[in-house]
A and B are shown apart, each in its own frame.
Chain A
Amino acid sequence: MEVFIQQLINGLSLGSIYALIALGYTMVYGIIRLINFAHGDVYMVGAYVGFYATTQGWGFLPSLVISMVVCAILGVVIERLAYKPLRGAPKIAVLITAIGVSFFLENGGVLAVGAKIRTFPNVFQEVQYHFFNGSVVITNRQIVIMVVTVLLMLLLQYIVHYTKTGKAMRAVSHDTQAAMLMGINVDNTISATFAIGSSLAAAAGVLVGIYYNAINPYMGIMPGLKAFVAAVVGGIGVIPGAFVGGLSLGVIEALVSGYGQSLYRDAVAFALLIIILIVKPSGLFGSNVREKV
């Protein structure tokens, strides 16, 4: 039982990271039906911005905010330069561009900051909390990761449901043409989506930097893919789906490593993707929408 609780904690803290990245994936997909493969690399940039902020002596919260702001701008720039000119182009062209942007960020990152690993300064002292005679351990860093994830998720829900931008986002996602006729500025709404999604990825990057304490320019590839799986599992385009998808993926990975074989972990994650695509392609939280003809 204690081992199970420990694995649950391990899984939830890992899953929180996936969830934060998956939220951005799902928002962008929801609004322009684009799988933004560069999203994982925005997360990497976020980690680096956080790294430079903390090494300048900034605390945890200021670094988190700076990183989110910088990546929000980056997200908008990427959208304006790489995706907007292709609006109306075939889906596959935009998808390939996204892969291009991903490689650009990774290798540009290597050029700009070097390929070596960076380690974060200790922004807050680690505290461990023990339960069941020390057989269940949780650290304050894990708690911070989970709390920040939940808060950001709630903030996002608020933005999407109760603000003007959020309402515009939902309208554009529902029917772009009709939204445009109703006087909604579609371009600005799409930019806002990229800004919000990218800032969430940046938050995940900073949290990872602080939790695992080592970052490198290629760190976005695997979590990016996993978050994509999480978004699809939860129902791509559905915000609570991405959140639940991310957490469940983290927990499943922890349980596979803990009770099965550690090397099957990634295989199970992608097997899950395939099964979901076969059984319920719209994802756990997705509703069946018929393609408009």
Chain B
Amino acid sequence: MQWKKSFVAAVSLVVTASLLTACSGGGSKDTAANAPVANEFVIGGNFELSGGQATFGKAAVNGAKMVFDKVNAEGGINGKKIKFVVLDNKSEATESTNVATKLINSEKAVAILGCTTSGDTLGMVQLAMDKKIPVLSTSATNPKVTVDENTKKTNDFIFRACFIDPFQGTVMANFTLNNLKLNTAAVLTDNQAPYSKGLAQFFKESFAKGGGEIVADEGYVTGDQDFKATLTKIRGKNPDVLYVPGYYEEVGKIVKQARELGMTMPIMGGDGWDSPKLTEIAGAAALNNTFFSNHYSSEDTDPLVVDFVKRYKELYGDVPDSMAVLGYDGALIMVDALKRAGEPNAVKIKEALAATKDVQTVTGKISYDEQHNPIKAAAIIEMKDGKQTFKDKVAPK
């Protein structure tokens, strides 16, 4: 009993002591912020290096590194080097919050680049807003990322390098109605991914507005592998096109199983399709007659695109996908803002980001609108024998 008491006393002593040090630690951090400015820009990278969207994260990091390495090789910004610290969020929103906390508290990042998916990025929005650290997502296309759903106010510390879901969903609806001249559609949504739900919603709205009819509206969840029952149901409704705005792993299986069931209609989606894994999973033949909206096409003959594709291939041996381009573009936008901010100060960097105007990136000349969304065009890709081919480019109205 005596022993137990002294144990409790010892534990409470340790707890109190650690609380006290934690407080004083916080105090000294505050003074550090006013101390002479650090001699480097620490940019945190919050990316999907493992898990379901691992190919997205890795490509984005590859792209971003090209920019930061070049800036450092040329002497940095005002003589200050950029230190790019990348941590793995395992393609999970909760892990993304942890990674952001680590980047801000332990690594002292003044800005964060990432994540690639809307769900993962949403995982750190609140934290970044509270800690006042600017976040630039490379490819989160959901509107909620930069705009608070309830107050409709722009999240002033959050930015992105890509266009948003309403635009992608609308582009594909118009493409179906105007270019393919098809009028009935079935939609198959990943109900666990805000990205997929966003695209589906705006596709359905624009499709109906343009005179088309949605004949089936079905769902699945990330990680599902058998879609034949749902697809059989959709087949019974006989739609002209099937819209599947999901990620490549499930989309690959859906396309494969749909073709196995004898469904020959065009299947369409968004930038979540963009991965070489898509062809591996679905098979090249099954992917014929499929289309998706994307941020760029590596087949585009624009000299900027050609030059980027060449340099990326030399460094990494692969043709860069959209995630790589957006990682590269995100880093370009970030560097432009860092130059104008001049010093590693989170609030100044945020103000510089918000004032982004006419930054030349691979996917276009970017300026931010009031909701921190870049204004630029979308590319439409058609899959032919397992290869992406450039079909069309659709500019914003």
Residues of A within 8 A of B (CB): 3, 6-7, 10-11, 13-14, 110, 114-117, 119, 122, 126, 128, 130, 134-135, 137, 139, 208, 212-214, 216, 218-219, 222, 253-259, 261-263, 265-266
Contact A263 B191 (CB under 8 A): yes
Chain A residues with CB below 8 A from B220, complex form: 262-263
Contact A114 B50 (CB under 8 A): yes
Given A115-B54, A119-B277, A137-B261: A212 in contact with B253 (beta carbons within 8 A): yes
List the 5 shortest-distance A-B pairs measured between CB atoms, nearest first.
A115-B50, A257-B229, A254-B229, A10-B228, A119-B280
Chain A residues with CB below 8 A from B229, complex form: 7, 10-11, 253-258, 262, 265
B233 in the interface, Cβ–Cβ < 8 Å?
yes
Contact A208 B225 (CB under 8 A): yes
- What residue of chain A has the Cβ atom nearest to residue B51's Cβ? A115
- What residue of chain A has the Cβ atom nearest to residue B90's Cβ? A115
Q: How far is the CB of A282 from chain B (nearest CB, A)?
A: 29
29 residue pairs A–B, Cβ–Cβ below 8 Å: A6-B261, A10-B226, A13-B228, A14-B228, A110-B50, A115-B50, A115-B51, A116-B50, A116-B54, A117-B281, A119-B280, A119-B281, A137-B260, A139-B260, A212-B226, A213-B280, A214-B225, A214-B249, A218-B223, A222-B223, A253-B226, A253-B229, A254-B229, A255-B229, A257-B230, A261-B218, A261-B219, A262-B218, A263-B219
- What residue of chain A has the Cβ atom nearest to residue B225's Cβ? A212
B25 in the interface, Cβ–Cβ < 8 Å?
no
Residue picked from B221, B226, B281, most chain A C-beta under 10 Å: B226
Contact A126 B260 (CB under 8 A): yes
- What residue of chain A has the Cβ atom nearest to residue B256's Cβ? A213
B94 in the interface, Cβ–Cβ < 8 Å?
no
B178 in the interface, Cβ–Cβ < 8 Å?
no
Chain B residues with CB below 8 A from A266, complex form: 221
Contact A216 B262 (CB under 8 A): no
B79 in the interface, Cβ–Cβ < 8 Å?
no
B252 in the interface, Cβ–Cβ < 8 Å?
yes
Expressed in whole angstroms, the Cα–Cα distance for A88 and B119 within the complex equals 46
Expressed in whole angstroms, the Cα–Cα distance for A119 and B218 within the complex equals 26
Expressed in whole angstroms, the Cα–Cα distance for A3 and B229 within the complex equals 10
Chain A residues with CB below 8 A from B219, complex form: 261-263
Binary flags per residue of B216-256, CB closer than 8 Å to A gives 1, else 0? 00111101011011101100100000000000010011001
B52 in the interface, Cβ–Cβ < 8 Å?
yes
Q: How far is the CB of B60 from chain A (nearest CB, A)?
A: 15
B101 in the interface, Cβ–Cβ < 8 Å?
no
Residue picked from A212, A216, A253, most chain B C-beta under 10 Å: A212
Residues of B within 8 A of A (CB): 50-52, 54-55, 90-91, 191, 218-221, 223, 225-226, 228-230, 232-233, 236, 249, 252-253, 256, 260-262, 277, 280-281, 283
Residue picked from B221, B232, B277, most chain A C-beta under 10 Å: B232
Q: How far is the CB of A224 from chain B (nearest CB, A)?
A: 13
- What residue of chain B has the Cβ atom nearest to residue A6's Cβ? B232
Contact B262 A137 (CB under 8 A): yes
Q: How far is the CB of B110 from chain A (nearest CB, A)?
A: 30
Expressed in whole angstroms, the Cα–Cα distance for A216 and B230 within the complex equals 23
Expressed in whole angstroms, the Cα–Cα distance for A206 and B229 within the complex equals 22
Chain A residues with CB below 8 A from B233, complex form: 3, 257-259, 262
Contact A128 B228 (CB under 8 A): no
Contact B226 A14 (CB under 8 A): yes
Expressed in whole angstroms, the Cα–Cα distance for A213 and B278 within the complex equals 11
Chain A residues with CB below 8 A from B228, complex form: 10, 13-14, 254
Chain B residues with CB below 8 A from A214, complex form: 225, 249, 252-253, 277, 281
Expressed in whole angstroms, the Cα–Cα distance for A119 and B232 within the complex equals 24
Expressed in whole angstroms, the Cα–Cα distance for A141 and B120 within the complex equals 36
Residue picked from A13, A134, A259, A265, most chain B C-beta under 10 Å: A265
Q: How far is the CB of A226 from chain B (nearest CB, A)?
A: 11
Expressed in whole angstroms, the Cα–Cα distance for A21 and B327 within the complex equals 42
Expressed in whole angstroms, the Cα–Cα distance for A266 and B229 within the complex equals 13
Chain B residues with CB below 8 A from A253, complex form: 226, 229
Chain A residues with CB below 8 A from B232, complex form: 3, 6-7, 10, 258
Chain B residues with CB below 8 A from A116, complex form: 50, 54-55
Q: A212-B226, A263-B219 are in contact. List 16 more A-B contacts (CB 8 A).
A: A115-B51, A116-B50, A116-B54, A117-B281, A119-B281, A128-B262, A130-B262, A212-B225, A219-B225, A254-B228, A257-B229, A257-B230, A258-B232, A262-B220, A263-B221, A265-B229
Expressed in whole angstroms, the Cα–Cα distance for A13 and B225 within the complex equals 12
Contact B262 A213 (CB under 8 A): no
Q: How far is the CB of A44 from chain B (nearest CB, A)?
A: 12
Contact B230 A258 (CB under 8 A): yes
Expressed in whole angstroms, the Cα–Cα distance for A259 and B230 within the complex equals 9
Q: How far is the CB of B288 from chain A (nearest CB, A)?
A: 15
Given A6-B232, A139-B260, A262-B219: A213 in contact with B281 (beta carbons within 8 A): yes
Expressed in whole angstroms, the Cα–Cα distance for A244 and B120 within the complex equals 40
Expressed in whole angstroms, the Cα–Cα distance for A255 and B229 within the complex equals 7
Expressed in whole angstroms, the Cα–Cα distance for A183 and B206 within the complex equals 75
Q: How far is the CB of B204 from chain A (nearest CB, A)?
A: 17
